[in-house]
Amino acid sequence: MSQTLSASTLLAVPLAPLAGSLLAGLFGTAFGGNWFGRRISHTLTILGVLVSFLISASTLYSVAVDGARLNETLYTWMVVGGLKMEVGFLIDGLTAMMMCVVTFVSLMVHIYTIGYMEEDEGYNRFFSYISLFTFSMLMLVMSNNMLQLFFGWEAVGLVSYLLIGFWFNKPTAIFANMKAFLVNRVGDFGFILGIGLIAAYAGSFDYAEVFAKKQELGALVFPGTDWMLITFICICLFIGAMGKSAQFPLHVWLPDSMEGPTPISALIHAATMVTAGIFMVSRMSPLFELSDAALNFILVIGSITALFMGFLGIIQNDIKRVVAYSTLSQLGYMTVALGASAYSVAVFHLMTHAFFKALLFLGAGSVIMGMHHNQDIRWMGGVRKYMPITWITSLLGSLALIGTPLFSGFYSKENIIEAVHFSQLPAAGFAHFAVMAGVFVTAFYSFRMYFLVFHGKERYDQNPDAHEAQEEPDPHHHHDDHSKPHESPWVVTVPLVLLAIPSVVIGFMYIQPMLFGDFFKDVIFVDGSKHAAMAQLAQMFHGPVAMAVHALQTAPFWLALAGVALSYYMYIVNPALPAAIKRVFQPIYTLLENKYYMDWINENIIAAGTRLLGVVLWKGGDQGLIDGAIVNGSWKLVARISAAVRRVQSGFLYHYALFMILGVFALMTYFVWLNK
């Protein structure tokens, strides 16, 4: 343990946003009497996140440069038998990086919100929620035990419920937050089952103590089966990640989370919540390395998500939903990297993706503001000359997303593709095809959105559904629907610029220490004898410049270029072509438009079946069996017996004498004749 890190100082990292959240939530809303105005509320919450970011940046420096580490228990909640339930911090390379990413992106979102939510009635409440979201994610990533991890895990789920349904008078928002809540409960059931098995067989929640017993866990068989216990544990843990990080088939909640305000879409999709699953699996790498079956399962699920969710992005017309489906696809890439035992590459992509995805979401929000809350990209066009800052930052974010050489997304995506190529797992072939095809698909739908929004003819005055097209309530002034677009205020554009910088350079700067250096030493564990992908990647790496130059000769670069070129031709050169293709491939379009009918299956089969089961258990089990047969049946039986017995009590002496004689006769008969 290094003396350069202080647990008391680090305590301020999660508590500063919590303090800002509580002050704004209690005293800036009607709940506490509206003592604080908007200026005080956003100042307090931004100050809290700023303090958190500054301490996080200092911590990252100490960890990266000085090799500082900390693993300390702050508070023991209770001890049950030998099982300790504690609150503590584990600070290493993985934690410090996540702390900086979460706090920086959150800070940008806080500043951006000042402009975006300017005239919304729930202004103070929104700031309280997003600060609480930041606190929850920080408690998750800083934990040194699984109990605290689960607290943060559920806390981000709770706050996401509040934020997705922020406009609680909007029916679609109510449906979306309930959907997110219920789908995540499915994943969380698996997650808590995995944690419970670890506690039962390892006797501890503490990471270090559990990892110290990994060989013992790896030798156990799950009772009643021939499955290895560690395989069952890892799959259960990953089911939790499937819900939180929106992997197929538990991905259905994420596109609907767009019903919340745009700033929270950026926070959920970039730095919090959806990255929690990726972080958790990386943290648990010592356990996952013991089960090839679990890794293969992860690889298959990630591949399906990366490819098939990308297809859905092609047909979306809502600017936020295009970016949302790109999040699903990129989360699939991260999951594929986890399955290939390239945990550091997955985390590296998590970091680079956080910056450019936050940039794209906030850029989309800026476009929505500039277009007077029209979200349909079919009715935009030519926005570039009206919104130059939004245009250039969105272009940089799109180039990073598709993996353009020298941009941050290139270094992480390219290494994911190579890691899968080197993997020896059975599912690696399908995974490699999925991530390669995903490169083309991502480039196509990303630049489809880019060209339709920023280039081509101006169509913002041709929207036939101008009043119906907007999905978000307009918190700003009511403009003429046909007025020209305009650039957003500085509180919106400054975060865009500050996010654009790491979106371009951070991959180039940190690929060597994070993937091939000592940054994740003693944090992420890979069994090199079975999973040699990272070792092979290290042999191929000759610096970020050489990697970028070499990439110009590889298939991913040409696939990305082909995707951009095709989108340019279809939406700028020959805009009639997409409609013709749609007519020819109408069945496929219908399939994609209905999202592979996953929502229909969930709502009409799974949810309806569950409700039917509930009705059967309610009517048949509760009302029929328990209330009817057991409770009401028992008292009716007692009443009938009582009614029959009551007639025996006549009050006449000769009746009692007769029964006494009959009783004596029966006893005599039994003892004399029958009991010989």
pLDDT (tens digit per residue) in 204-239? 889 999 999 888 888 888 887 888 899 999 999 999
Q: How far is CA 150 from the centre of its chain?
A: 14
CA distances from 176 to 122, 245, 359, 598 (A): 19, 16, 24, 15
pLDDT at position 2 is 44
d(CA 206, CA 566): 52
pLDDT tens readout for residues 113-135: 988 888 778 888 889 999 999 99
Q: Per-residue b/e over 302-314, b at no fewer than 16 CB within 10 Å?
A: bbbbbbbbbbbbb
pLDDT at position 169 is 85
Residue 480 — pLDDT band, cuts 50, 70, 90? very low
**3-class SS of residue 300:** helix
Strand ranges, E, within 618-660: none
Q: Per-residue b/e over 348-374, b at no fewer than 16 CB within 10 Å?
A: bbbbbbbbbbbbbbbbbbbbbbbbbbb
Query: What would the DSSP string read from start to end of 453-521?
Result: HHSSS--TT--TTTTTS--S---S----TTSPP-PPPHHHHHHHHHHHHHHHHHHHHHHHHHHHSSTTT
pLDDT at position 465 is 61
Residue 466 — pLDDT band, cuts 50, 70, 90? low
pTM > 0.75: yes or no: yes
Residue 82, judged by CB atoms within 10 A of its CB (0-12, 13-18, 19+), counts as exposed
Residue 477 — pLDDT band, cuts 50, 70, 90? very low
269 or 661, greater pLDDT: 661
pLDDT at position 28 is 78
- In this model, does residue 50 exceed pLDDT 90? yes
Q: Residue type for 447, please?
A: F
d(CA 427, CA 300): 6
pLDDT at position 668 is 84
- Rg of the chain taking only CA atoms, in angstroms: 30
264 or 349, greater pLDDT: 349
Residue 404, judged by CB atoms within 10 A of its CB (0-12, 13-18, 19+), counts as buried
pLDDT at position 676 is 59
pLDDT tens readout for residues 33-44: 778 888 888 899
* Structure tokens given for 191: 């997650």
Q: Which helix (H) or strand (E) holds 157?
A: helix 146-164
pLDDT at position 479 is 42
* Nearest to 524, CA basis, from 184, 93, 61, 212: 93
Q: What is the crossing angle of helices 292-314 and 428-454, to 10°?
A: 30
d(CA 377, CA 219): 55
* Nearest to 304, CA basis, from 249, 343, 350, 349: 249
d(CA 418, CA 59): 32
- In this model, does residue 478 exceed pLDDT 70? no
- In this model, does residue 468 exceed pLDDT 60? no
**3-class SS of residue 539:** helix
- In this model, does residue 604 exceed pLDDT 50? yes
pLDDT at position 637 is 87
d(CA 602, CA 611): 12
The half-sphere exposure of 544 on its side-chain side, counting CA atoms within 13 A, is 20
Q: Are the beta carbons of 431 and 358 closer than 8 angstroms? A: no
pLDDT tens readout for residues 92-112: 889 999 999 999 999 999 999
Q: Are the beta carbons of 353 and 412 closer than 8 angstroms? A: yes
Mean pLDDT (whole number) for 529-546:
86
Give bridge partners of residue 79 from the DSSP assignment. Answer: 84
Mean pLDDT (whole number) for 539-559:
89
Give bridge partners of residue 7 from the DSSP assignment. Answer: none
Q: What number of other Cβ atoms are within 10 A of residue 108's Cβ?
A: 27
Unique residue bearing structure tokens 């797992």: 425
Mean pLDDT (whole number) for 481-509:
85
Unique residue bearing structure tokens 């999951």: 335
- In this model, does residue 666 exceed pLDDT 60? yes
d(CA 601, CA 131): 36
d(CA 217, CA 221): 9
* Nearest to 139, CA basis, from 157, 155, 128, 158: 155
Residue 474 — pLDDT band, cuts 50, 70, 90? low
Give bridge partners of residue 376 from the DSSP assignment. Answer: 318
Angle at the Cα of 459 from the Cα atoms of 454 and 464, rounded to 5 degrees: 135
| Percent of the chain at pLDDT exceeding 70 | 96
- In this model, does residue 469 exceed pLDDT 60? no
- In this model, does residue 443 exceed pLDDT 90? yes
Mean pLDDT (whole number) for 267-295:
88
pLDDT at position 602 is 84
Phi, psi (5° rounding) for residue 221? -110, 140
Mean pLDDT (whole number) for 404-421:
91
Give bridge partners of residue 80 from the DSSP assignment. Answer: 83
Using H for helix, E for strand and C for coil, what is the string for 305-372?
A: HHHHHHHHHHCCCEHHHHHHHHHHHHHHHHHHHHHCCCHHHHHHHHHHHHHHHHHHHHHHHHHHHHCC
- In this model, does residue 470 exceed pLDDT 80? no
Mean model confidence pLDDT for the chain: 87
The alpha helices in 257-318, defined as continuous H runs, are 262-270, 276-283, 285-288, 292-314
pLDDT at position 675 is 65
pLDDT at position 539 is 87
pLDDT at position 303 is 93
Q: Are the beta carbons of 439 and 410 closer than 8 angstroms? A: no
**3-class SS of residue 50:** helix
* Structure tokens given for 415: 């290494």
d(CA 548, CA 546): 5
- In this model, does residue 149 exceed pLDDT 90? yes
Q: How far is CA 622 from the centre of its chain?
A: 37
* Structure tokens given for 165: 């349904």
DSSP code, position 206: B
